[in-house]
Amino acid sequence: MTGNLRTFVLMAALTALVMGMGYVIGGQGGAVFALIFAGAGNLWAWWNSDKAVLRQQGAMLVTRQDAPELVDMVAALAQRANLPMPKVYVLATDQPNAFATGRNPENAAVAVTQGIMRVLNRDELAGVIAHELAHIKHRDTLTMTVTATMAGAIAMLGNMLMFSSMFGGRDDQRGGGLAGLLAMIFAPLAAGLVQMAISRTREYEADRIGAEICGQPMALAGALAKISRAAGQVVNIPAERNPASASMFIINPLHALRMDRLFATHPATEDRIARLQAMSGGSYSASRVPSAGGRDSGPWGSQ
């Protein structure tokens, strides 16, 4: 099953969960209401999610005047990916990480942390930016926004079902008390697992396309290894305060990185690196990343 088909199937499962929870609460009318509610939430998220997540993470917009080599690198890679130039943001955290957001390529943004510019060399940083541009190119930022909104709607419907059961408002003819209890407990859990599965699927594909954009799979592999090692040692306070945004980052930014892999928002870093190694045969290309300045190292320094 291809990545796009798998994502479609998983999103269909989320839609079914939304409607199922609505049915348990209010019958056929409840199912329709739940679907309309989730659709309205997705519409709001489509217009506002990028601004919300950038604000939550304390992102600072930078221009070529502020960070010429970083902005030039993003511009060169965006041109190579045949994408409009996204806005560039910097996050004031020492944890090396990055994410992309935006409802479409014309309204996209790439955000990198101060820590990632210190830890990675030019080629590795370019690999990370190319990965984020791959998310933009395939509109993964919109997909993840929709899935996060639907998962949130299912969690809220679970809370509604709990209160409905407490006050005797649920119709037992729609499956009985046990069915309602199981839906209340397991539907939000299942929604979270589906959301994580979609995120993991999208990360593998973004690694592949990002490696093609930057032309150096092993540079991206090296970046993933460095970020993964450092992410667990540095607390990203904005991300910890807003854990729902974790799936947007290239590596899980939350400090509890050793959770069971079933509940991980990202594939295992070793698996991602192995796939990138297979793309390149394990060798590091000597070709350089395009740079308007023609230099091999940026303000983050060479490693």
* Cα 303 from Cα 295, distance rounded (Å): 14
Q: Where are the alpha helices (DSSP H) in 167-291?
A: 176-214, 217-231, 237-241, 269-280
- Please indicate, yes or no, if residue 21 is contained in any of the structural domains: yes
Binding site, annotated residues for Zn(2+)? 131, 135, 203
Half-sphere exposure (Cβ direction) of 89: Cα atoms closer than 13 Å: 24
Catalytic hit among 69, 106, 124, 132: 132
What is residue 33's predicted lDDT score, i.e. its pLDDT? 78
* Cα 227 from Cα 251, distance rounded (Å): 7
Residue 69 is among the residues annotated as catalytic for this protein: no
- Please indicate, yes or no, if residue 302 is contained in any of the structural domains: no
- Report whether pLDDT(1) > 60: no
The predicted model gives 66-87 an average pLDDT of 96
More confident of the two residues 229 and 175: 229
Q: Of 18-22, 175-179, 185-189, which gets the smallest average pLDDT?
A: 175-179
**pLDDT, tens digit, 9 for 90 and up, residues 81-135:** 999 999 999 999 999 999 998 888 999 999 999 999 999 999 999 999 999 999 9
Nearest to 156 by CA among 27, 9, 15, 22: 22
- Please indicate, yes or no, if residue 299 is contained in any of the structural domains: no
What is residue 108's predicted lDDT score, i.e. its pLDDT? 93
Binding site, annotated residues? 131, 135, 203
CA 178 vs CA 23, 183, 185, 238, 292: distances in Å: 15, 9, 11, 39, 64
- Please indicate, yes or no, if residue 89 is contained in any of the structural domains: yes
Number of domains observed in the structure of the chain:
1
What average pLDDT is seen over the chain? 77
- Please indicate, yes or no, if residue 96 is contained in any of the structural domains: yes
Residue 62, phi then psi, degrees to nearest 5: -120, 150
- Please indicate, yes or no, if residue 263 is contained in any of the structural domains: yes
More confident of the two residues 30 and 182: 30
The predicted model gives 237-248 an average pLDDT of 80
For 43, the token pair is 């519409």
Using DSSP, state whether 99 is helix, strand or coil. strand
Q: What is the pTM of this model?
A: 0.74
**pLDDT, tens digit, 9 for 90 and up, residues 179-229:** 556 556 666 666 666 666 666 778 999 999 999 999 999 999 999 999 999
* Cα 33 from Cα 26, distance rounded (Å): 9
- Please indicate, yes or no, if residue 298 is contained in any of the structural domains: no
- Please indicate, yes or no, if residue 186 is contained in any of the structural domains: yes
Q: Which residues form the domain of 79?
A: 3-280
